[in-house]
Structure 1
Amino acid sequence: MAILKIITHPNAILEKKCEDVTVFDDKLEKLLDDMYDTMVKADGVGLAAPQVGVAKRIAIVEIDPEEGTLEMINPEIIERKGSEVDVEGCLSFPGVYGEVERAYTVTIRAQQRDGQEYILQAEDFHARAIQHEIDHLDGILFTSKVTRYIDEEEFEGYEEE
């Protein structure tokens, strides 16, 4: 496995709508594995392919290692319910944190690494992470949705709650 370089803002690839994945092969599997290792090393809970320089609709989320990693290929949100404001950060914006309003529950349709389609419903922080990563695939940065920026000291207070 390889640790990939995380692209930081400003970089045009972060604001580009990504292309669908059409080939499900060993190259895709290696990218997913490398993205996972990169996310873990960076202490993140999600990572989208454009953040490692690949303009494809691929993202991963792992809230709890015991629950495993959610691999999303060509994901789309098919339903949103409720609303919640919480703090977000992003590996492409080191040290930047802000409050963002997102749906509390989302239902997505996506594909696994073998191309198999699935539907998943997630809520709360899991739903937030999924929405954040899917936004990356559409070239939407969390900073465009921040209602209030917070400093690192205040962010650490949120983490302890």
Structure 2
Amino acid sequence: MSIRPIVRYPDPLLAQPAADVTVFDDALRALADDLRDTMHAAPGIGITAPHIGVSLRVVVLDLGDGAKTYVNPEIAWASSELIMHQEGSVSMPGVNDDIQRHARVRISYQDLDGNMQTEESDGLRAVCHQHEIDQLNGMFWIQRLSRLKRERLIKRFEKMSRA
């Protein structure tokens, strides 16, 4: 278990879709442990393997109820009801903005042993699932902002990064 360097925006790795995990072994468990430790150190509530430069479909979330790992997660269903929630990223610390997401989702995923699972969530957990699955698909969260909001946020982040 170790804290790994976080890939920073605008690194092109953040725009690449991650590969499916096909081997469920001790290396995958070690990656999940590193993701958890890196996320807590950032600090953050969600992280993907691409955030640390590993192009695999692995997500770790910790919303205060203990870290949980999702391997190869996919959204199986999303509600028509939408909510706004403030989002940010460990790869772009210090900036955030409101993003519109589905209020409820059902995801399918595998656990660290490769067993298929489903989970239904709402509110913050549903937002986190959508945010991190977007990242696994190569869509960085700011792509969901209008061009004007995205450009302003990038300028604010660049200014903060220089300071």
The answer to whether structure 1 residue 88 and structure 2 residue 91 are counterparts is no
Equivalent position to 1:77, from 53, 75, 88: 75
1:70 is displaced (CA, Å) by 2.3
Structure 2: distance between partners of 1:70 and 1:108 = 14
Equivalent position of 2:96 in the other structure: 97
Which whole-Å deviations, capped at 9, do the CAs of 1:85-144 have from their partners, x for residues lacking one? 111111111122111000000100000001011000010001101111111100001101
In terms of fraction of residues, the more helix-rich structure is 2
The answer to whether structure 1 residue 4 and structure 2 residue 4 are counterparts is yes
Equivalent position of 1:159 in the other structure: none
Structure 1: distance between partners of 2:43 and 2:19 = 27
Structure 2: distance between partners of 1:8 and 1:17 = 16
Question: What 5-or-longer segments of structure 2 have no aligned partner?
Answer: 154-163
Corresponding residue SS for 1:97: strand
Q: How many residues are treated as equivalent by the alignment?
A: 149
Equivalent position of 1:18 in the other structure: 18
Equivalent position of 2:159 in the other structure: none
1:36 is displaced (CA, Å) by 0.2
TM-score, normalised on structure 2?
Answer: 0.87
Corresponding residue SS for 2:31: helix
Alignment of structure 1 residues 3-152 onto 2, 5 Å: 3-64=3-64, 67-81=65-79, 82-147=81-146, 148=149
Q: Which amino acid aligns with 1:17?
A: P
Which whole-Å deviations, capped at 9, do the CAs of 1:46-104 have from their partners, x for residues lacking one? 0000000000111111111xx32221101100000120011111111112211100000
Q: Which amino acid aligns with 2:125?
A: H
Structure 2: distance between partners of 1:123 and 1:12 = 31
1:23 is displaced (CA, Å) by 0.2
TM-score, normalised on structure 1?
Answer: 0.88
Aligned Cα root-mean-square deviation (Å): 1.4
Structure 2: distance between partners of 1:86 and 1:47 = 17
Q: Which amino acid aligns with 2:35?
A: M
Equivalent position of 1:155 in the other structure: none
Which segments of structure 1 move beyond 3 Å, counting only runs of 4 or more? 147-151
Question: What 5-or-longer segments of structure 1 have no aligned partner?
Answer: 152-161
